[in-house]
Amino acid sequence: MKVMSYMAQWRGIAKEAMDRTAIAVKFLCCLHITDAYFCSPTHIYGPSMLPTFNMVGDIVLAEHVSQRLGKVRHGDLVVVRSPSDPKKSITKRIMGMEGDTVTYFDPMLGDATRVAVVPKGHVWIQGDNIFASRDSRHFGPVPYGLIQGKVFFRVWPLDCIGVPGQ
Protein backbone atom coordinates (compact mmCIF):
# COMPACT_ATOMS: atom_id res chain seq x y z
CA MET A 1 0.00 0.00 0.00
CA LYS A 2 2.80 2.33 0.81
CA VAL A 3 4.31 1.65 -2.62
CA MET A 4 1.03 2.70 -4.28
CA SER A 5 0.94 5.98 -2.38
CA TYR A 6 4.56 6.71 -3.22
CA MET A 7 3.85 6.08 -6.91
CA ALA A 8 0.82 8.37 -6.83
CA GLN A 9 2.92 11.10 -5.21
CA TRP A 10 5.67 10.56 -7.73
CA ARG A 11 3.30 10.83 -10.62
CA GLY A 12 1.99 14.11 -9.27
CA ILE A 13 5.52 15.51 -8.90
CA ALA A 14 6.52 14.26 -12.37
CA LYS A 15 3.49 15.92 -13.94
CA GLU A 16 4.23 19.21 -12.23
CA ALA A 17 7.88 19.02 -13.33
CA MET A 18 6.76 18.41 -16.94
CA ASP A 19 4.37 21.37 -16.83
CA ARG A 20 7.01 23.67 -15.42
CA THR A 21 9.55 22.47 -18.02
CA ALA A 22 7.03 23.05 -20.81
CA ILE A 23 6.48 26.62 -19.63
CA ALA A 24 10.24 27.21 -19.44
CA VAL A 25 10.74 25.77 -22.94
CA LYS A 26 7.97 27.95 -24.38
CA PHE A 27 9.47 31.01 -22.74
CA LEU A 28 12.92 30.25 -24.13
CA CYS A 29 11.47 29.70 -27.61
CA CYS A 30 9.82 33.13 -27.47
CA LEU A 31 13.03 34.69 -26.19
CA HIS A 32 14.97 33.07 -29.01
CA ILE A 33 12.56 34.31 -31.69
CA THR A 34 12.76 37.85 -30.33
CA ASP A 35 16.52 37.70 -30.12
CA ALA A 36 17.00 36.32 -33.62
CA TYR A 37 14.34 38.22 -35.54
CA PHE A 38 13.49 41.42 -33.74
CA CYS A 39 15.91 42.94 -31.30
CA SER A 40 18.89 41.76 -29.29
CA PRO A 41 21.37 43.40 -26.91
CA THR A 42 25.04 43.57 -27.89
CA HIS A 43 28.11 44.54 -25.90
CA ILE A 44 30.55 46.71 -27.86
CA TYR A 45 34.07 47.50 -26.71
CA GLY A 46 37.33 48.65 -28.21
CA PRO A 47 38.65 51.93 -29.62
CA SER A 48 37.58 51.50 -33.25
CA MET A 49 34.28 53.37 -32.91
CA LEU A 50 35.41 56.37 -30.82
CA PRO A 51 33.87 58.85 -30.21
CA THR A 52 30.50 57.24 -31.01
CA PHE A 53 31.07 54.29 -28.67
CA ASN A 54 33.55 54.34 -25.83
CA MET A 55 36.48 52.00 -25.29
CA VAL A 56 35.49 50.13 -22.18
CA GLY A 57 32.12 49.01 -23.39
CA ASP A 58 28.62 50.06 -24.36
CA ILE A 59 25.49 47.95 -24.40
CA VAL A 60 23.31 48.63 -27.40
CA LEU A 61 20.17 47.20 -28.92
CA ALA A 62 20.40 45.90 -32.48
CA GLU A 63 17.37 45.13 -34.60
CA HIS A 64 17.34 42.34 -37.16
CA VAL A 65 14.47 43.49 -39.32
CA SER A 66 16.12 46.10 -41.55
CA GLN A 67 18.81 43.87 -42.93
CA ARG A 68 16.29 41.19 -43.90
CA LEU A 69 14.21 43.78 -45.74
CA GLY A 70 17.25 45.28 -47.45
CA LYS A 71 16.76 48.63 -45.69
CA VAL A 72 20.33 49.03 -44.46
CA ARG A 73 22.07 52.04 -45.95
CA HIS A 74 25.00 54.42 -45.95
CA GLY A 75 25.73 55.80 -42.46
CA ASP A 76 24.02 52.99 -40.53
CA LEU A 77 25.74 51.38 -37.57
CA VAL A 78 25.68 47.63 -38.15
CA VAL A 79 26.69 44.47 -36.32
CA VAL A 80 28.55 42.28 -38.79
CA ARG A 81 30.00 38.79 -38.49
CA SER A 82 33.74 39.23 -38.85
CA PRO A 83 35.10 38.00 -42.20
CA SER A 84 38.38 37.00 -40.56
CA ASP A 85 36.93 35.24 -37.53
CA PRO A 86 33.43 33.81 -37.96
CA LYS A 87 32.98 33.39 -34.19
CA LYS A 88 33.22 37.14 -33.59
CA SER A 89 30.89 40.00 -34.38
CA ILE A 90 32.13 43.51 -35.05
CA THR A 91 30.25 46.81 -35.02
CA LYS A 92 31.10 49.35 -37.70
CA ARG A 93 29.47 52.01 -39.84
CA ILE A 94 28.47 51.43 -43.46
CA MET A 95 30.37 53.85 -45.67
CA GLY A 96 29.46 52.38 -49.07
CA MET A 97 26.76 50.20 -50.59
CA GLU A 98 27.12 47.97 -53.66
CA GLY A 99 28.14 49.88 -56.74
CA ASP A 100 29.52 52.86 -54.78
CA THR A 101 33.01 54.21 -55.28
CA VAL A 102 34.60 54.63 -51.86
CA THR A 103 37.48 57.02 -51.23
CA TYR A 104 39.35 56.12 -48.09
CA PHE A 105 42.41 57.02 -46.14
CA ASP A 106 44.48 54.58 -44.11
CA PRO A 107 46.88 56.41 -41.78
CA MET A 108 49.01 53.28 -41.43
CA LEU A 109 49.81 53.24 -45.15
CA GLY A 110 50.81 56.85 -45.55
CA ASP A 111 48.96 59.98 -46.59
CA ALA A 112 47.58 58.83 -49.94
CA THR A 113 43.84 58.42 -50.33
CA ARG A 114 42.75 55.28 -52.16
CA VAL A 115 39.68 54.45 -54.16
CA ALA A 116 37.69 51.22 -54.28
CA VAL A 117 34.48 50.15 -55.99
CA VAL A 118 32.13 48.07 -53.87
CA PRO A 119 31.08 44.91 -55.79
CA LYS A 120 27.52 43.65 -56.13
CA GLY A 121 26.16 42.07 -52.96
CA HIS A 122 28.80 43.71 -50.72
CA VAL A 123 29.12 46.70 -48.38
CA TRP A 124 32.07 48.81 -47.23
CA ILE A 125 32.33 49.18 -43.45
CA GLN A 126 34.62 51.49 -41.48
CA GLY A 127 35.10 52.30 -37.83
CA ASP A 128 34.51 55.94 -36.83
CA ASN A 129 38.04 56.06 -35.40
CA ILE A 130 40.06 55.54 -38.58
CA PHE A 131 43.31 55.52 -36.64
CA ALA A 132 42.47 52.44 -34.58
CA SER A 133 40.07 50.37 -36.61
CA ARG A 134 40.47 47.17 -38.64
CA ASP A 135 37.78 47.36 -41.26
CA SER A 136 37.10 47.26 -45.00
CA ARG A 137 40.23 49.32 -45.59
CA HIS A 138 42.13 46.21 -44.49
CA PHE A 139 39.95 43.21 -45.30
CA GLY A 140 38.01 44.62 -48.23
CA PRO A 141 34.27 44.95 -48.78
CA VAL A 142 32.18 42.39 -46.89
CA PRO A 143 29.23 40.43 -48.32
CA TYR A 144 25.83 41.84 -47.31
CA GLY A 145 24.92 38.36 -46.01
CA LEU A 146 27.30 38.84 -43.06
CA ILE A 147 25.29 41.76 -41.66
CA GLN A 148 23.52 40.56 -38.53
CA GLY A 149 21.67 43.65 -37.37
CA LYS A 150 21.42 47.42 -37.21
CA VAL A 151 22.20 49.32 -34.01
CA PHE A 152 19.39 51.71 -33.12
CA PHE A 153 19.58 52.41 -29.39
CA ARG A 154 22.17 52.54 -26.61
CA VAL A 155 21.15 51.40 -23.12
CA TRP A 156 24.50 51.59 -21.24
CA PRO A 157 26.25 53.69 -19.95
CA LEU A 158 23.22 55.29 -18.40
CA ASP A 159 24.30 58.87 -19.05
CA CYS A 160 24.37 58.17 -22.81
CA ILE A 161 21.03 56.41 -23.23
CA GLY A 162 19.52 57.14 -26.60
CA VAL A 163 20.17 56.94 -30.29
CA PRO A 164 23.92 56.80 -31.03
CA GLY A 165 25.23 59.88 -32.85
CA GLN A 166 25.95 60.34 -36.54
Partner 1 sequence: MGFRNLGPLGSFVKEGWEKTFSLVKFFCFLHVVDSYLVTWFVTLGPSMLPTIDLTPTLFLGETFSARSGKVTRGDIVIIRSPQNPKMMVAKRLVGMENDTVTYIPNPDEPDKQETIVVPKGHVWIQGDDVNTSNDSRNFGAVPYGLIEKRPFWRVLPAKDFGPFWKH
Residues of the shown chain interacting with partner 1 in the complex, contacts defined by CB under 8 A: 26, 29-30, 32-33, 36, 70, 81-87, 119-122, 139, 142-146
Q: How far apart are CA 124 and CA 150, in angstroms?
A: 15
Provide the CA 97 distance to its chain's centre, in angstroms: 18
Q: Cβ(25)–Cβ(114) under 8 Å?
A: no
Q: How far apart are CA 123 and CA 74, in angstroms?
A: 9
Output the CA torsion 86→144→147→127 (10° steps): 90
Supply the minimum distance, in Å, between the C-beta of residue 158 and partner 1.
33
Supply the minimum distance, in Å, between the C-beta of residue 151 and partner 1.
18
Question: Considering only CA atoms, which of 133, 124, 101, 123 is closest in space to residue 114?
Answer: 101
Catalytic residue among 92, 133, 136, 150: 92
* Comparison of 12 and 99: residue with beta carbon closer to partner 1: 99
* Comparison of 102 and 123: residue with beta carbon closer to partner 1: 123
* Comparison of 42 and 54: residue with beta carbon closer to partner 1: 42
Supply the minimum distance, in Å, between the C-beta of residue 85 and partner 1.
5
Based on the residue annotation, tell me whether 5 is a catalytic residue of this protein. Answer: no
* Comparison of 56 and 69: residue with beta carbon closer to partner 1: 69
Backbone angles phi, psi at 135, to 5 degrees: -145, -150
Supply the minimum distance, in Å, between the C-beta of residue 145 and partner 1.
4
Residues marked as catalytic: 48, 92
